[in-house]
Each structure stands twice: as structure tokens, then as C-alpha cells.
Structure 1
Amino acid sequence: MVNKVSPLSATQMAIWRGMWAYEDEPRLSRVARMRTMDRRDFLSGLKWVWACNGAVPSQALVGGKLDGQQYYIGRAHHQGSVTPGMVIPKRKACCIAWGGDEHDKDVYEVLCSDGRFVPVSERSTGNLLNASSAGISEDGEPLFIGLVQHEGKLICGKVQRSHGVCYIGYKGREMGFSEYQVFVGIAPTPLESHYWVMCDDSDSDVPAAATVAGSDTNGCLYIGRAGHRGSCTPGYISQATRKCHIAWGSDEHRKSRFEYLCNCRARFVPGRENFIPVGAVGGGYSEFGEPLFIGRVQVKNRYIVGKVQPTHKVCYIPYGGKVIAHAEYEILVLDDYTKSS
């Protein structure tokens, strides 16, 4: 029998924070949260693939069935969190539970790793020690993938250990359950994937595995990203300036501290509006936490790398000191997902 629990109220949350954390302790910054998330993803060995509008890769892990149709395990960014939930193709979204409500997110990641669900209850919580980290709360707490039985249906959601429950989104509401199953991934070997290397303009050497996006008269242009005004914005690194050029606001910004994209086996494919292809390479996030992707535009016989911002339906590139928006662009997609295109 599943024991349903109501989500914590604001008063209960205040009491909980008073018991477990200092009231004046600041939340983790977005940069710290994302770096923590990257580390946990690496350690968990789970493979996540970007997609949108209900699309899923062929390796997507089935979570169960709702109304006779399969749904898949996914996660999405929301209010500073990365929250596990369900990708429901019919709804063209990843459905997550957060803040008392169910939210549909049209840009999300899909789980493409094997694993199994093991039981957890108020009397037996040992299996939580083996659970695979799959998300992060707005306060930096790890989140896990949970599964509950409700009204004869198996529904995926997020497990937040400090709350002692698995939250699911159901009929527009967030619901909490103290008895649930938690996901344990099967990752026998570390995943080989792309990564980012931090550098600055004093470094004369380019990382050996840096990803080239194009070239100009001064040499290669590499894919990079840099922090600016609370964002982590993709752009290009020029050998001539030793800076990362990014588009933000209405101006081009040249950043002296930046990251190279490395070991990325991917190619640019035609993009359109706010459509994010399955397997798109995540490039960072906006100052509001929206995921950003890596795009490029050809200008005067060279390719300029910029940011694809789904809600704006364009690729912004830094050019001539300004930001230029392009409705027609290319977007970077992992090779494994472009072979059939």
C-alpha cells in the first residue's frame, strides 16, 4: 500500500531549513550548481540526451505507461533545479513536479542508460545509498529518479532525500509518496563523452582535443563558452584575440576567462526556430536558467559560433561588436544522432 503524503508547506519548509541549515546560508550560485551537477553526472555514469517537443532517441529508457502509451524517463531545468520526470510524447513535453504543481517543459533531457528500480519505504531506506544521482535541487541537493504506484499507474518523479518522499506530477499537482522505488543505474565503465576545459587568455596552448567550428585568416576558431551576468554563454575562441567571443544583450563581449569544448564528436546540422534536435550539444544556460545550445552562422566565408536560445527561436552571434540574431542557422548535434539524417 502506497502512503501518500502532501508536499511540505512553506511553514514546514521554514521549520525544516531551521533544523538542517543555517538561515543565513546562501543558496548555491547557478555556476556552482551546474558544476556540481556535471560532477554527479560523471560519477553516476548515466547518459542523458537533449531533445524537445516529445521526441526521444531510440535508446530512451521506458518508464512505464500512461493511458495506454509509453512514457520515458527524463529531466528538465526549472527554477534553478534539474528535476527528473516523465517525457510524454503525447503531451510533447517532460512533465516534472516542483513547488506544488506539475510543469510541462518542452526542452529536456532523456535518460539513455540501463538500470533497475528498487523499493524504498519509511521502514527501509537502505536502497537510497545505491541510488544514481539524476538531478539537483535549487539549493544544490541531489535528486534521484523515483517511481510510485498511484491509481493503478506507475508514475516517475523525483526523490528528494531530505523530504523523505518521492514527488510526482499528476493532473496538474505535485504529490508526495513515502513509499516508492528508486532508480539504480547500471554503469560498468565510465562514459566517454565531451567535456569542457577552463583556460584564460594567458594560456598559449590550445587543449589537444579542442573542437574546431571553423577558421578565419588568423587560424582556427574553436567552440567555447564563458560566464557573463549570471549566464554561461557559448561562443567562439579566436587564436588572434585569445578571447572567447560571446553574444549577450545587444553587444559582443570578449571574455578573458573561458572554456574550450573538447572531445566532442558532433557536427552542425540545419536548425530552425525553437526546435532542438535529439542529441543536440548543451552549451550553457541563460541568466534565467534556460538551457542554451551551440549554433553557428556563415558570415563572409567564415563560420561564427553563437548561442541558440529556444524561447527566442534564433541563434545569436557576436559580430562586429554587436549581437546579430539569425533565424536560419546550424546547431551542433552529436554524431550518434546525425548518422540517419
Structure 2
Amino acid sequence: MPDRLRHHTLLTPAALAVTLLILAPTTSYAKDVRWIPMKAGDGIPQGVQAAGYEDRTARVKNYICRGLYKGGLYIGYTDRHTAACQIKGHDGEAFLRPLELLVADGDMRINHPRVHPQVADGPVKSNERWRVVNPGRTPQGALIAGRQDNNKPLRICRVIHNNTPAVGYVGPGMRTCHYNIWGGPGTSSTFEVLIGKTKSNTLESVIDPKHPHAIRLAKQSDNSRWRPGNVGSIHGDTIAMGHEQKKTDILAACRGFYDNALVVGHIRPGGKTCNLSYGKDEKFAYHYQTLVTKTPWVKPVKQALPDKAIQGGYEKDGRPLYICRTAVGKTLRIGNAPKNMRTCYTSMNGKIYRQKSFEILTAQALSANQQAAQNQAFLERMWKSGRTHFGTPFGYERSNRGKIAVCRFKYRGNLIVGKRSANSRGCRAALGGQRVIGSAYSSVLTTTERFLKKTDWVKVTQGKVPNGAIKAGHDASGGPIYICRSNVMLTRSGRKIKSVGLQIGHADRHMDYCHVEFGNAARKFRPFWVLTYNP
């Protein structure tokens, strides 16, 4: 490949694992378009129409695509192999991966290039897709499909280059179509633009040029609170802020573009979209940001905007939207609230719910108790059923041969912490000087990348609970139980002769010993280390 070709992989690696969304063909022409995510090399799915040709022979068809480039979302073309989206970059050709492919209802009006039709500007008719541009004038219905790195909108344009239709992008001035084609990039002042309207769940990357101040607010001033994601990817620092009917089915706050508005919604781990609470029904964004803030929720008093309320987005006319959450049935959902604080708009199962009782996310500082409660709520979600999970290994048996995970179970009023190894069916713990075994389906501690980055094993000074020690259980009186581990050595005549592993157990608030089940008996060891979490 020539040196002048540049490759850009600006999306997260998770986006490269996106599966193709199969869209059923539409029988009526409604001027609808949508973007579908593609992996490089997936090929063109059935029903996607070409918008240009590789050369004048018309043998190789080109398709409209877009991808991220230098902070913007740019439009270009790809062939049937979908290896990359080729655009006219700032200083030559650019190849973008991964990419999105344009799907349009109706005929894209590609005939033999020698007789390629162009339609004069005028009222939109049912069978028209492209409109010839008068320089400096934006045709009615011209579709915004991308953005420059300065957030100004880009539209899809098409030119005739050596008797061959080629697609590209045109800025808000409507003066020049920037295109790329076999033989290199080019520009033209004679071009046509694509006409259409979007389905409710498609063109989420629209930027509204009428409100650049709102865009700057959303993209810059609060950028530290948000992390980019697409097609199911969720940043590791994202905070759970709601839940489905089962509290373990968590929801995170996200936001995406729809109809020139920046809208707050929710995303489920394992889902593909940010579900937006906007309009008459639920909308979906494949490109979004997730919220990573850890600030408190405040209930509005007499419809007054709480102090330091966090603006999460804006209406299409620029009015601010704030992040709210509210109960819908047994669920806790995330949505938008306008400045008047009368209603929290949230969504579930395709419907919009308008709730009068809700909380607003603020930038107020968390108290020590609030921070501790939030940390504990996060840590509780790390416990999973031992029926389906082994747990994250935090210790090992002799000579690092067998892995040991942390487990816990209820026993006579205690929520006791113990260990689980690959060759044992239950959770083994020490309690009151006795060996106790829980069922095979006890809870086990699992971890995430975010969890591991913010945990540490701290050596215990006798009698002192380390700062950030993870409360994992309780004794019969309600006193806290912590996770501990100790490097256990066999001794003979007071001399250490052999290590028998890094054993896991629990310590109480007195922090005098790490209580471990070992050798079919209850034992206690020191020195020992306690697992801590300090976000």
C-alpha cells in the first residue's frame, strides 16, 4: 500500500467486535436513512444500495460510509469488501476503521454514469434522493450526516468525476464537495446532496449548527464526566445509577444525539445502544458517552433547580436538560429533566414515562458517609452466584498450584467469608474456632478492571482497620467482617519449613487475626493483609 495512504483507528477496540445489525428491507419509500455499524471486511449486506462507481466502467460499485477522523465524523465511500471508509482527509486520502454504512429506503438513482440523472432544486418529490446545489444554498431536506472537528455539520455530496459518480462531504457553506475516488482525492463546486429524513433510532451523531454554545458545553466543559462508547462498549469507570426489576441488573447513565438534541438515557451491560428518553417513544443511539461521576442525587424542592445540578444535554432549541432518575414500578431509571423541574422523562420497553417524583444529579461533594455507602453499593454488585461463577482468584494452594477465590454464605445469623478452590464444592470458612462449610451455591467475589485498579492488599497493624477496608459480611451481632489473606507456612520446632499457599479468610473489627479454614480445621494467622477499595 502506498506510503501516502493513512490509516486511522480512532474508535475503541471493542467497536471492532461489533456484530452486523441485520435490517429488514422496507417496502415503501419514506425517505428514511440509517447507519449500521460494520467490521472491516464484513462485506455489503443484502439490500444496501450503491451511490457511485470506482471508475467509468461501472463494474465496481461504491457505497456511502462514515467514520471518526481527527475529532470529527467524516463521510466517504467503501467498496463491497468494506475494508475501510475512504475519505478526503486534511492532507490526502485517509482510511477509517471501523465504519458505518448508509442504508436508504427507495432508489439511490444510480444508473450508468454516462446518463447519471441530476435533479434540479425544488419541492421534494417521492422518488428523489439527490438535489443539485446552488453554491451557498442548502437544499430543502439536505441530510446532516457528520461533523467537522470543530463540530460544524457535514452533509453527503456527490459529484461527477470523469463521468463517474463519486461521494464525499460538504460543509455548512455549501460551496465545495470534498470527495475521494480511485486515483486520489478531489474537490468540486458542482455537486448534489443527499435528501432524506432519519428514523428515530439512527442518525444519532447529528450536530445542531444553530447552537454552538450548547455543543461546546456538552463537548468540553463537562467532558471529564463522560467517556465515549459505541455499540455496547462501556468505559470501565462508568458508574451504575439505576437498575431493572432485579437490582443486580444495573443501568448506567449515557447520552447521545437525536434530532439535533443531546439526550440522556440509560445503557445495560451487554446491550448495544444508549436508550434515550426523548419525544413520544424511546430512541436508540449506537454512538454515545457514559457517565463516570460519583456525585450525590438531590430531590428538587418546590420545583427549584438544585444547587450545582449537572446539565447532561440540551433540547434541539438549546434549552438545558438535567440528569434525573426516578422509580418506574420496581425499577430505578435514568432520564432527562428540563430546567422547570416539573417532570423526569425516562423510558422503558420502548415507552416514555413522565414522573413527577424524581432526583437530580448534582456536583455537590459527597459526605464521608455518602461516599462509604456508594462504595459499599458498588462492592455488593461484585458478588455473584457460585452456581454460575467461580470467582476471581485472590489466593492459591501449595506452590501456586490451585487457585483460591473469595466466597461467603449465611450461617446462624452470620454472613461469613471464606475460600473456595477448584477442587472443593463448598465455601470453607472458620467460625468460632470451628470449620464451617457453606453450600456449593454460595456467593463468590468477582471483579472488573475498574475494581482491580482501585483495590489493594494492606498489611494490618494489629487492632486497626485499614482505610477503605472492604466490608464483605457480618457476625451474628452485626459487626463487620473483612476479607483477609495470609501466607501460611508449615513450621517444625518453631522454624518455618514450607509454604502451603496464600490462604484466604476473614478478619473482624478487632483486626487481631486472619481466620482461615485450612487442613480441615479452623486456624488463625498473622501477619495478614486486608483487601481495601479506595476510588
| TM-score of the superposed pair, with normalisation by structure 1 | 0.47
Between Structure 1 and Structure 2, which shows a larger proportion of helix residues?
1
Say which structure, 1 or 2, has more relative contact order (CA 8 Å, 6+ apart).
1
Between Structure 1 and Structure 2, which shows a larger proportion of strand residues?
1
